[in-house]
Structures are given as structure tokens and as C-alpha cells.
């Protein structure tokens, strides 16, 4: 006879408990259900056995056996549930077994019994994991996963699930681990409203989560609420507060927390001081950071550790404080810390940022002499440093690199060839050392090679390693496509654009901007407009740069009205405008003899708080002069000077043209003389503007 058959032999006074409960409320039914299961667990083994030969009772000894029985009865929820409840008093149940029971009940829509199982898990202190809650949500028809916990709690309550403090704590942690910080905060608030006290661990986890989001207000509110509930902050929670306040630049408040720690007998440790040093350095307060560092060295409790030195050296490197950094390096070695690859990479990075490539490579050599193998980050830092160096004033190392065999500075092509060779040399060295390049390495190398006019080498590198050694990103394709456009190889650029999809790489806004600009510069505005429409269709919102390159392309092609249409669309988009689009359109309207419209845009930009630059004034002076509006052109020139701009050759050329167009060669000559007096050298256009007669006068002919 199965367990379900035992019910018929239950004494009458107990059997009455099992009468149908359809007329009771859900809460009452659940109480009765729990009582039923309590009775079953209490007397199931005392069933009368008159007339039946007693068989040897089988005792379930393990949770694994419980799982085996549940799996064999999963199609019969009554037998499975009854077995589960009977053995619950004698077997240490696991989370896996409980979750399996919940899944059986979910399948058969037994929500009330699920609440009983969950209650048992809480009482027996069986760990509730993420799958526990997901099973319950499934049973209550709640979609959206763990993120729906705030909504699910009310439905759980109505279905008879009563969470204790431990369950609330666990649910909050699951939400935080899944990145659902706001939802975790909602569950926390409900827990507190129900009169339960979250654990210190939960408060710390919440504070860390919102600290990462730089939400100082929420972190400090949690800290106060924790104290209000009688929980005493420990060194960990105090340190979290210092870190968050430091990240927000609230250094004075961070110091106040440090003082409070000491006052309350919670001594800070080296981690606390490291956090405060990091905050001080980030805020640029190196004097305070160094003072704190000196205090640490004088202390017997929190001497500087490896993290202290890494923090100080890293921050000093970021801010270019090379001299102080080298002093700290010496102190670190004096304190017995042996520099490893992390320390040397920080030093390499510092020299690269300072543009001192020679010292960066000397540091690489020193590492090798000391038997320290450079790692991926070391090589990436050096490669990036070489890329950055191209825009800096060269040091001795770079100068020597650029000097040819005859002692003269080599031309761009040869120079770029040498730098490309050096970059590829670093790449080959890291590979030979067993240091496998990552996507960052390949992207930096490809960008560098493109920048140094070695596009074909960049393409070879891409095809040699794509798909097997690294997964390309939009940045990879952006460099290649841009480089090909600059060489006029548009068809190849489009091949790379189409190839992106083959590697699961979706074109982003930057890629479309490069394409629109590339085709626009060649005068193929139809393709540029098509690409603009395509990016919008694909859900990519154009930014200011998108509109600017499209407006520029249309202006260059003489399609000013279309450019104005896109400019109006830009104004309606909510994006912040800058001067670039205005001066492009003002120049285009002027060249199209639409001076009045150009002046209207000039007024509009000033109303928006956008100040005209010298290019804008030069365009207007030229346009007004060509239109014969000489007085207005002169007024614009005077306004340029009043705004603090210095007239350049283009300004003077525009004025000369204005006077010549109006037939006033004397004034044109006066402007020319003024150019010479102020030290502004005329160019070819200056002389072209003047008549032959004037030129003869100027040269004494």
C-alpha cells in the first residue's frame, strides 16, 4: 500500500482535519495545509497493521535518495509531495532537492504546496538560491526573471509565501549580483517596512553597488538607516563611505568619516588609508596624499603595502608627476618591495604619457635585465605610446629614429615606414615571448599602421589574425575604412563595411560618420544621404558630427537648400549646436550670393550664445564685399577686431576684394599697406586681387 493509501486508516479525530477547505480563505487554507502535513509527518509511521504481516521498514537515509524517489514520482505530485514532507523530518534536505520539488509543483500548478515547501526551506535553513525564486515566479506566472522581485513580493504574499529576514537578505543579494540595483533597493525598503532588520552584509553590498554608480546620496542614506536600526558600522562599511565620498570629490567629508572611525574605536587599516590616498590623488591633492603616506610610514599598524605604492605610482603617472613618482619608487625599493611587471608597466606608461619614449624603452630593457617578462599590458602601453608620440614634439629617441643615413630629417613616408617597422617589431617580440596579443593590441596596431600611412600592412595584419586570434570591433573597421577613404580607395572601404556583418560586428554611429564623410568629400552626396537614411532606419541616432559632415558635404556640392533642411532637422533633434554647422552654412550661403540669409544665421547663432570665430567673420566680409555691401563688410571687420580677433591674410584679402569690386583701388592699396605694417605677409591671392596697374605701383613699375 502506498503512502496515499495510509490516509484511510487515520483515526477519525485526525482525519477530520483533512476535510475539503474550499470555504476558507487562502491564509486559512494554508494554515490547515501546514497542519495536515505536520500530522502526516507525526503519525504516518504509526498506522495500524492488524492482519498484515509486518514488513521491514525502509528508512530513507540521504538527500540523494530523496532526489531519486522524487524523480521516479514526478508525474504523481501527490505521492512526490507526501514523500517529500514525510522524509523532511529525518533527512537533511538540500537546495537541489527542494528546488526539484518546487518544479514538480510548478508543473502541476500546486502553488499552495509550493508555499509549504518554501516555508519548510526557511525553517530548516535550507539555502534559497536564484533558482528557488525563479521557480516560485514561474508558479505565480511572473515573467521577466529575478528583476521582477519587487512586483513578485506582493503576489507571493497573497499566495501565502511569507519571507523571513534571511530570505529577504538573499533576494537582495541576488538582485545586486544580477546588476539590478534599483530593484534591490525596492526589496530592501519593503523589508524594512515589514519591520525586519537587514544584515550588515546586505548593507555593505548595497553601499558597494550604489558606490560604483557614484550615487553618494543613496550610499550615505543607507549608512544612516543602518545606524538607525541599531547596527554598528564596521571597518568595511566605514571604508566604503570613504571610497564613495572620495570618488565624488567630497574629500572633507571623507576625512570626517576617518576621524569618526578613530573616535568610535574602529581603527582604520591599510585598506582604508589606501582608499583615501586614491581619492586625494584623483582630486589632484598630492600634498595631502603624500602627508597621509608619511603618516602610514610612521605608523606601526598600517604600514604602506604593495597596493599603497601601486596606487600612488599609478595616480602620479596619470597626472604626469614624474619627479615625485621617481622619489616614491626609490622609497618603495628602500622599504624592501621588489618591483614586478605591474610596477614597471606603470613606469613605462608614465614615460609614454610624458612623451619620453626613450626612457620607456630603457625601462623595457631594464625589466628584461632583471628577468621580468613584460606582459600584454606592457606591450600595449608601449605601442599606444608610439601612436601618441606622433602628435608630440619628438624627444631625442624619436628624433634619432627620424634621422636618415645622411643626417637629414627623413620625409613623411620614410618616417612613417620606420615607426611602422618599430611597431611591428614590438608586436613580433611580444609574440615570440609567448605574450598573446589581444583585441586591444590588434586595434592599436591597425590604427597606428593606418595613421603612419601603412594601410596595406594594416590590412595584411587584419587578415592574418581576424577570426582566429581576435574578434574585430567597430574600432577595427573604423580605422581601416577611414584609411582607405583617405587614399581614395572607396570600393575597398565598402567591402570592409559589408564584411563587418560576417564577424557579427554591427556598424555603429562612428562607422556611419566615417562613411558619410568619406563619400561626401568625394562629392557623392547621394550615397552619403543614403547612408544617413540607413543608419536612422537601423535605429542609430545621428549625432552632431553626423549632421555636420552631411551638411558640409552638401555645401561643398552646392546643394545649400538640402543642407539647410538637414540643419533644421538638427535643430529639432535636441542636440546641442556648436559653431561648425553655422559657419559652414554661412560660408556656403555667401558663395551662393545669399548674403541676407547668411546674416540671419549669423544673428541666430549669437542669439543661441554661440560666438562667431575668425573664419565666420572672414566669410561674411568676403560675401558682403562681393555683393557690393562694402560698408557692411568694413563694419564686420571692425567687429572682428572688437571681439579680440587678429586679422589674418584671409581677412585682408576679403577687404581688398571688397574695395576692388566696388572700384575703390586706393582703399584696396591702403589695406595692403596696413597688412605690411602689422606684419601680415600677403599670399598669391593678395596680388591676384589687385589690378596690374596697382601691382606695378606696388613693385615700383
Q: Report which DSSP code applies to 388.
A: H
Residue 317 reports pLDDT greater than 60: yes
Give the per-residue pLDDT at 66: 81
Confidence grade of residue 15 (pLDDT, cut at 50, 70, 90): very low
Indicate if the pLDDT at residue 669 is higher than 70.
yes
The x, y and z cell numbers of residue 126, run together, are 535550507
Residue 3 per-residue DSSP state: G
Mean pLDDT of all residues in 203-216? 92
The residue ranges of every structural domain in the chain are 63-196, 507-611, 613-700
First vs last C-alpha separation in the chain: 130
231-258 burial, b for 16+ CB within 10 Å, e for fewer? bebeebbbbbbbbbbbbbbbbebbbebb
Residue 505's Cβ-count burial label (10 Å; 0-12, 13-18, 19+) is middle
Give the mean model confidence (pLDDT) for residues 193-219.
92
pLDDT tens digits, one per residue of 117-157: 999 999 999 999 999 999 999 999 999 899 999 999 999 99
Please list the helix, strand and coil fractions of the chain in percent, rounded to the nearest 5, in that order.
Answer: 70, 0, 30
Q: Specify the pLDDT at position 519.
A: 94
- Its CATH architecture, for the domain 613-700, is Alpha Horseshoe (1.25)
Is it the case that residue 393 has pLDDT exceeding 50?
A: no
Do 273 and 235 form a contact (C-beta atoms < 8 A)?
no
- φ, ψ dihedrals at 470, nearest 5°: -155, 155
Burial (Cβ within 10 Å: 0-12, 13-18, ≥19) of residue 336: exposed
Q: Hey, what CATH topology would domain 507-611 get?
A: 1.25.40
The cell numbers describing 629, all together, are: 555691401
The grid coordinates listed for 129 are: 538560491
132 with 121: CB under 8 angstroms? Answer: yes
Residue bearing the bigger pLDDT, 24 or 352: 352
Spatial CA neighbour of 167 closest among 140, 142, 139, 190:
190
At 312 the pLDDT is: 92
CA quadruple 441, 442, 447, 449: dihedral positive or negative?
Answer: positive
**Looking at per-residue confidence, does 262 or 221 come out higher?**
221
pLDDT for the residue 685: 87
* 232: DSSP letter: P
Phi and psi at residue 319, to the nearest 5° = -95, 5
Are 162 and 154 within 8 A, CB to CB?
no
Distances in Å between the alpha carbon of 503 and those of 43, 458, 468, 472, 507? 66, 18, 11, 7, 11
The string of pLDDT tens digits covering residues 72-110 is 877 888 988 988 888 888 888 899 999 999 999 999 999
The pTM score is 0.59
Q: Provide the pLDDT for residue 178.
A: 92
pLDDT of residue 28: 56
How far is residue 692 from each of residues 29, 661, 698, measured CA to CA in Å?
Answer: 110, 15, 10
CA 567/CA 128 separation, integer angstroms:
58
Amino acid at each position: 500500500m502506498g503512502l496515499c493509501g495510509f490516509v484511510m486508516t487515520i483515526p477519525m479525530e485526525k482525519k477530520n482535519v483533512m476535510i475539503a477547505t474550499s470555504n476558507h480563505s487562502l491564509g486559512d487554507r494554508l494554515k490547515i495545509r501546514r497542519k495536515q502535513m505536520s500530522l502526516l509527518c507525526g503519525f504516518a509511521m504509526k498506522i495500524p497493521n492488524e492482519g498484515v504481516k509486518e514488513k521491514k521498514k525502509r528508512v530513507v537515509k540521504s538527500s540523494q535518495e530523496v532526489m531519486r524517489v522524487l524523480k521516479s514520482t514526478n508525474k504523481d505530485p501527490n505521492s512526490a509531495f507526501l514523500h517529500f514532507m514525510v522524509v523532511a523530518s529525518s533527512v537533511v534536505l538540500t537546495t537541489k532537492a527542494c528546488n526539484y520539488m518546487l518544479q514538480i509543483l510548478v508543473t502541476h500548478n500546486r502553488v499552495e504546496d509550493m508555499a509549504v515547501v518554501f516555508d519548510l526551506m526557511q525553517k530548516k535553513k535550507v539555502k534559497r538560491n536564484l533558482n528557488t525564486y525563479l521557480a516560485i515566479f514561474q508558479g505565480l506566472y511572473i515573467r521577466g526573471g529575478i528583476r521582477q522581485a519587487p512586483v513578485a513580493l506582493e503576489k507571493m504574499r497573497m499566495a501565502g509565501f511569507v519571507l523571513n529576514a534571511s530570505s529577504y537578505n538573499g533576494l537582495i543579494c541576488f538582485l545586486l549580483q544580477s546588476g539590478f540595483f534599483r530593484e534591490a533597493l525596492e526589496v530592501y525598503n519593503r523589508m524594512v517596512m515589514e519591520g525586519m532588520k537587514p544584515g550588515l552584509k546586505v548593507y555593505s553590498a548595497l553601499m558597494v553597488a550604489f558606490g560604483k554608480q557614484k550615487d553618494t546620496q543613496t550610499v550615505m542614506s543607507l549608512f544612516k538607516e543602518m545606524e538607525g536600526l541599531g547596527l554598528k558600522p564596521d571597518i568595511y562599511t566605514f571604508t566604503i563611505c570613504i571610497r564613495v565620498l572620495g570618488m565624488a570629490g567630497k574629500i572633507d567629508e571623507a576625512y570626517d568619516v576617518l576621524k569618526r572611525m578613530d573616535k568610535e574605536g574602529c581603527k582604520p587599516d591599510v585598506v582604508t588609508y589606501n582608499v583615501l590616498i586614491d581619492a586625494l590623488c584623483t582630486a589632484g591633492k598630492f600634498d595631502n596624499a603624500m602627508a597621509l603616506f608619511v603618516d602610514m610610514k610612521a605608523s606601526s599598524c598600517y604600514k604602506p603595502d604593495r597596493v599603497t605604492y601601486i596606487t600612488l605610482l599609478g595616480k602620479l603617472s596619470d597626472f604626469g608627476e614624474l619627479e615625485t613618482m621617481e622619489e616614491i619608487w626609490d622609497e618603495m625599493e628602500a622599504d624592501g618591495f621588489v618591483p614586478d611587471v605591474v610596477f614597471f608597466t606603470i613606469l613605462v606608461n608614465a614615460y609614454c604619457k610624458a612623451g619620453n619614449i626613450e626612457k620607456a624603452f630603457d625601462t623595457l630593457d631594464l625589466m628584461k635585465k632583471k628577468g621580468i617578462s613584460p606582459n600584454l599590458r606592457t606591450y600595449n602601453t608601449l605601442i599606444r605610446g608610439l601612436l601618441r608620440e606622433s602628435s608630440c614634439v619628438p624627444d631625442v629617441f624619436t628624433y634619432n629614429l627620424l634621422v636618415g643615413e645622411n643626417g637629414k630629417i627623413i620625409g613623411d613616408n620614410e618616417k612613417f615606414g620606420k615607426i611602422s617597422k618599430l611597431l611591428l617589431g614590438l608586436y613580433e617580440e611580444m609574440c615570440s615571448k609567448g605574450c598573446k596579443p589581444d583585441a586591444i593590441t590588434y586595434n592599436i596596431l591597425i590604427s597606428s599602421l593606418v595613421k603612419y600611412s601603412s594601410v596595406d600592412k594594416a590590412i595584411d595584419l587584419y587578415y592574418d589574425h581576424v577570426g582566429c586570434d581576435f574578434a574585430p570591433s567597430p574600432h577595427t573597421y573604423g580605422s581601416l575604412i577611414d584609411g582607405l577613404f583617405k587614399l581614395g580607395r572607396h570600393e575597398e572601404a565598402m567591402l570592409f563595411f559589408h564584411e563587418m556583418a560576417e564577424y557579427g560586428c554591427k556598424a555603429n554611429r562612428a562607422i556611419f560618420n566615417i562613411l558619410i564623410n568619406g563619400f561626401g568629400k568625394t562629392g557623392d552626396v547621394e550615397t552619403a544621404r543614403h547612408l544617413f537614411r540607413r543608419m536612422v532606419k537601423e535605429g542609430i541616432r545621428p549625432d552632431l558630427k553626423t549632421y555636420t559632415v552631411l551638411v558640409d558635404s552638401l555645401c561643398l556640392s552646392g546643394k545649400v537648400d538640402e543642407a539647410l533642411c538637414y540643419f533644421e532637422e538638427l535643430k529639432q533633434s535636441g542636440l546641442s549646436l556648436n559653431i561648425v554647422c553655422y559657419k559652414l552654412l554661412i560660408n556656403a550661403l555667401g558663395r551662393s550670393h545669399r548674403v541676407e540669409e547668411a546674416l540671419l544665421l549669423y544673428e541666430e547663432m549669437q542669439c543661441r550664445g554661440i560666438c562667431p570665430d575668425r573664419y565666420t567673420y572672414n566669410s561674411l566680409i568676403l560675401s558682403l564685399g562681393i555683393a557690393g555691401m562694402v560698408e557692411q563688410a568694413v563694419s564686420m571687420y571692425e567687429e572682428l577686431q572688437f571681439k579680440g580677433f587678429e586679422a589674418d591674410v584671409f581677412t585682408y584679402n576679403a577687404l581688398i576684394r571688397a574695395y576692388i569690386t566696388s572700384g575703390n583701388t586706393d582703399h584696396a592699396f591702403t589695406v595692403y599697406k596696413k597688412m605690411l605694417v602689422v606684419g601680415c605677409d600677403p599670399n598669391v591671392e593678395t596680388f591676384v586681387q589687385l589690378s596690374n596697374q596697382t601691382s606695378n605701383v606696388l613693385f615700383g613699375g
